[in-house]
Amino acid sequence: MNGIHDLGGMHGFGPVVREKDEPVFHAEWERRTFGLLTATLALRRYNIDEFRHAIERMDPVRYLESSYYEHWLHALETLLIEKGVLTQQELNNRTAELAKGVS
Amino acid sequence: MLRPEQVEEAVKTGGSTRRPDDRITPRFKTGDAVRVRNRNPTGHTRLARYTRGKRGVIHHDHGVFIFPDTNAHGRGEKPQHVYSVRFEAAELWGEPTSLRDAVYIDLWEDYLEPA
């Protein structure tokens, strides 16, 4: 892939900092992202390789600035829109509602 | 439909991409010297950048698996053997390096050519 993501990683980011007693999820949205991704994969909306490719296609700067589960969420949104499960407009509308505090 | 009782297994296995391997003859066997093809595809690949063009030795044949480079783009499963390939640290990282260190990387057959 001619992109920022490489399976083998890359040098230049310093040592890996280990978190003591690291939780499986750092926030509820991470747990939900894991569940949504797993469920949509199991439903064969897309395959694992399409999922990885969706992460690889991220904007390079955005990729480096965002966390592991943000990569997952980005891929989830990208694929659900590309596969016709959601529209960008539906996603935008729901995001705006949540930003206003509507649950 | 994903039923609740299926979830634990789905999470544990991630959905296997292994395929029956009795009909697909491996091109390489343990001990064969190989070179990683210098491929830089515009699409998906599971070929680590730092192995491209490097020489290694087949350590183990894992069996047959779906080829990610085609499966990510709707171009079929193209099932093929996946090998654990041993690379000497000096081959990957140059000098100075430990002569005792080696890296084992899983690579699909299409990534490899005889060396």
Contact B68 A8 (CB under 8 A): no
**What is the arithmetic mean of pLDDT over A9-22?**
90
Residues 30-59 of A with CB under 8 A from B: 38-39, 41-43, 47-50, 52-53, 56
Distance of residue A58 Cα from the nearest chain B Cα, in angstroms: 13
Predicted confidence (pLDDT) per residue in A72-90, tens digit: 999 999 999 999 999 999 9
Q: How confident is the model at residue B16 (pLDDT cuts 50, 70, 90)?
A: confident
Bigger pLDDT: A1 or B43?
Answer: B43
Nearest CA to A79 out of A100, A58, A61, A63 is that of A58
Residue-level pLDDT at A86 = 94
How far separated are the first and last CA of chain A, in Å rounded? 39
Nearest CA to B91 out of B50, B55, B65, B43 is that of B55
Return the structure tokens found at B74.
Answer: 């709707």
Residue B81's DSSP bridge partners are: B64
Q: Enter the CATH code of domain B31-114.
A: 2.30.30.50
B1 pLDDT more than 80 = no
Residue B108's DSSP bridge partners are: B82
Contact A50 B45 (CB under 8 A): no
pTM of the model as a whole: 0.89
CB-nearest to A49 from B1, B47, B72 is B72
Q: How confident is the model at residue A45 (pLDDT cuts 50, 70, 90)?
A: confident
Nearest CA to B83 out of B52, B103, B59 is that of B59
Residue-level pLDDT at B6 = 79
**What is the arithmetic mean of pLDDT over A17-22?**
93
Return the structure tokens found at A23.
Answer: 């939780």
Is any Cβ of chain B less than 8 angstroms from the Cβ of A77? no
**What is the arithmetic mean of pLDDT over B48-77?**
96
Residue-range domain boundaries for chain A: 28-99
List of residues 6+ apart from B48 with CB closer than 8 A: A6, A7, A8, B105
Mutation for testing the A interface, residue in B17, B38, B40, B45 having most A CBs under 10 Å: B45
Q: Which residue of B has its CA nearest to A4?
A: B49
Q: Which residues of B touch A (CB under 8 A)?
A: 1-2, 6-7, 10-11, 14-15, 17, 40-51, 66, 68-69, 71-73, 105
Q: pLDDT above 90 covers what percent of chain B?
A: 70
List of residues 6+ apart from B110 with CB closer than 8 A: B37, B67, B69, B78, B80
A1 pLDDT more than 70 = no
Selected from 1.10.472.20, 1.10.3720.10, 2.60.40.3470, 1.10.10.10, the CATH number assigned to the domain covering A28-99 reads: 1.10.472.20
Burial of B26 (0-12, 13-18, 19+ CB in 10 A): middle
Bigger pLDDT: A69 or A101?
Answer: A69
**What is the arithmetic mean of pLDDT over B23-35?**
97
Predicted confidence (pLDDT) per residue in A46-72, tens digit: 999 999 999 999 999 999 999 999 999
Distance of residue A49 Cα from the nearest chain B Cα, in angstroms: 5
Residue A65: what residue type?
Answer: E
Residue A61: count other Cβ atoms within 10 Å of its Cβ: 9
Dihedral (CA of A22, A26, A31, A37) sign: negative
Distance CA A6, CA A18 (A): 21
Bigger pLDDT: B7 or B76?
Answer: B76
Residue-level pLDDT at B69 = 97
Which CA distances in Å does A29 have to A33, B58, B65, B69, B114?
Answer: 6, 42, 33, 30, 47
**Contact criterion met (CB below 8 Å) for A42 and B2:** yes
Of all helices (H) and strands (E), which one includes residue A91? helix A88-99
B9 pLDDT more than 80 = no
Residue-range domain boundaries for chain B: 31-114
